[in-house]
Each structure stands twice: as structure tokens, then as C-alpha cells.
Amino acid sequence: MSEHALRPSPISPTVDFSAEGVQHGFLRLPYSRDDSAWGSVMIPLTVVKNGEGPTALLTGGNHGDEYEGPIALFDLARTLKAQDVTGRVIIVPAMNYPAFLAGTRTSPIDRGNMNRSFPGAPDGSVTQKIADYFQRTLLPLADIVLDYHSGGRTLDFLPFCAAHVLPDKAQEAKAFELVRAFGAPWSMKMLEIDAVGMYDTAAEDMGKIFITTELGGGGTATAKSAAIARRGVANVLKAAGILKGALETAQTIWLDMPDGNCFSFAEDGGLIEPVFDLGDDVKSGDLVARIYPIGRTGAQPLEVKAKMDGILTARHFPGLVKSGDCVSVLAAVVV
């Protein structure tokens, strides 16, 4: 479908993106339902603008059970002052707001996974309508885009900031500069299992400088991961020239997910025993996890083996695992 065939977005912002100063408001999306006949989904956002300069679009809660982004961005939204900004900062702490309210990865309204819903549709489901608004209204306003993720309820990650390998090498280099500026303990050259429908891909296809994170997981945040998130966004805004001041630099270790061998998936369900913890060194062929059948005693556990040398970068979080779940992710240290 061509762009001009699309109807206008049903979302109306309560802020003016071109106005100077600090505005706290909402993206209002009409959503008529049993408990609210002419009701709306009210997605909180803040816009801070001061003069000419680049625009940063900052998002958390793309998945509703990931908390470092919302923590850093609700905090930034309440503290950022117009006089400290050169350009514009658009802050949406919880992009898939219905999912964030429910504490679930996907939306309870339509089961929509925001990061598989792009480019979205103005006449689609609630999640598709939000995606469409980002695709056609917010992303075009942005020069740089930071989208926070963590492992959610089912994965746990080493805290890293990441960008993708891109066909446009100048765009790629700028993204990795911002990853370095973010200053997470680990920095990743990231490979996606399937990049179709991702916000990342939508932003990158428009030529935006896009970076993302995985800062922990398990459906919560820690003092450490929240601090990394908060420091990271300040560093990125300084590196982009939107905030003044020196970067709060930190040591980072560069990691690379070279190919699909970095992922291991469960081929049966059961009780999972991790053999390594996050950050441990793993060699190709090493046992990464045992999965015990739980229907009876006396059965042999299924062994999950590493398919490359690397650092254990992510692991399945809940104690029980299902067939097809991602068990582990390895990444190679870049020296």
C-alpha cells in the first residue's frame, strides 16, 4: 500500500511538537470499550524544546515488562529543563502503554508485540495504531532514537547498549558512536533473530541514528541497571549536542553476535538448570544448561550445548522452560 492511501492517524497529541519550552501531555488514542464507551488510551509523553538543534526521540516500554527505560525516562521527563536543551527531546516512557500497565510484554488489548508491529496501521489494532503514529509522525521528527529494552519476565541480559550493522556505513558509524557514549558496561554489535516489523528497522530505514539497549531482565530493574539507564541517556544527549557537559565515561567491553550460532533454543520443556551465569566465558561444545523432564523421576536431562565461544550474554529467566524458548545467547568479545 502506498503512503498516500493511508488514512490519518486516529491519535491526537495534547502537546505541540513545534512549541518552545517543557510540555507534559499525552498521545490520546480513542479506544471504545466495555468500561469506557467513548474512552481513550492516554500515552504519557513529554516534549522539551529550546531553539534550533537536533531532535532526540527517547522511548521505553516498547515491551511492557521491561523497566529500566521507563524509570530513566519518567525521571528525565520530570527533571529536564528547557534552558538545558539545545534542540528538542521527545520522551515516551512507555510506548506500548496498555502492555506497560498490565506488566506484560505484549498488549492485553490485542496481544500486539509493539516491536513486531511496524510500520503499523492507522485502521489496525491499538498496537498497530501506536506503531503507525511512531512510523509516520514521531520518527520523521527525530535525528537520533534511543529505544530501551531489557529481558522482560522471560530473559535476563548483561547490561549492554547496542546498534546494528547497516548497509549505510556512515549511519552505522554514528550509531556506534552513540553506543560508546551511552557507556553501558557492555556494548553490542547486535544481530536480530528476525528484524521484520521492528521499530529498530523502521527507524534505520528512515536513516535515523538508532540505538537500543538490553539492561537486565526478569521483569524488574535493579539499582545498578536503573543507574546505567539514567547515566546512558544523559551521555547520549550530551554526545548529540542536545545537553551540555562532559560525558560520564565508563569502561565498556565490546561484544559481537556474529551469526545465528549465538542463540540456543529449548527443544523440550522442563526444569532448567543453568550451568553458567551471565558474564561467564563459554567454549563451543560446553554444556550451557540441563533441562530436566518433570513428568517423572529417573529420566535423563536434555543437554543444551554452546555452538560458539563467547560470553554468556543472556539466559532464560524463569525456572521452568518450554519447547522453543530461548535458553541462552552468547556473544564474542571484540578485541
- Ramachandran region, residue 263 (left: φ > 0; alpha: ψ -120 to 50; beta: rest): beta
Nearer to Zn ion among residue 61 and residue 183 (C-beta): 61
C-alpha distances in Å from residue 68, one per residue of 122, 190, 267: 29, 19, 31
Taking the complex as a whole, how short is the minimal distance between the CB of residue 196 and Zn ion, in angstroms? 16
Positions that interact with Zn ion (CB under 5 A):
63, 66, 149
Provide the minimum distance between the beta carbon of 218 and Zn ion in the complex, in angstroms, as a whole number: 13
CB of 79 to Zn ion, least distance (A): 25
Burial class (CB within 10 angstroms; exposed 0-12, middle 13-18, buried 19+) of 133:
buried
Smallest distance, Å, CB 149 to Zn ion? 3
Q: Identify which of residues 85 and 215 has a Cβ nearer to Zn ion in the complex.
A: 215
Distance, CA of 304 to CA of 124 (rounded, Å): 40
The smaller minimum CB distance to Zn ion, of residues 139 and 155, is found at 155
Q: What are phi and psi of 328, to 5 degrees?
A: -155, 155
Instruction: Sort residue 150 into left (φ over 0), alpha (ψ -120 to 50) or beta.
Output: beta
Closer CB to Zn ion, residue 88 or residue 316?
A: 316
Nearer to Zn ion, 132 or 200 (CB): 200
Q: For residue 118, count CB atoms less than 10 angstroms from its CB and return exposed for 0-12, middle for 13-18, buried for 19 or more.
A: buried
User: Which CB atom, from 49 or from 149, has the smaller least distance to Zn ion?
Assistant: 149
Q: List C-alpha distances in Å: 105 to 100, 151, 201, 247.
A: 8, 10, 19, 32
Please, what is the minimum distance in Å from the beta carbon of residue 251 to Zn ion?
Answer: 25
| Cβ 115 to Zn ion shortest distance, Å | 6
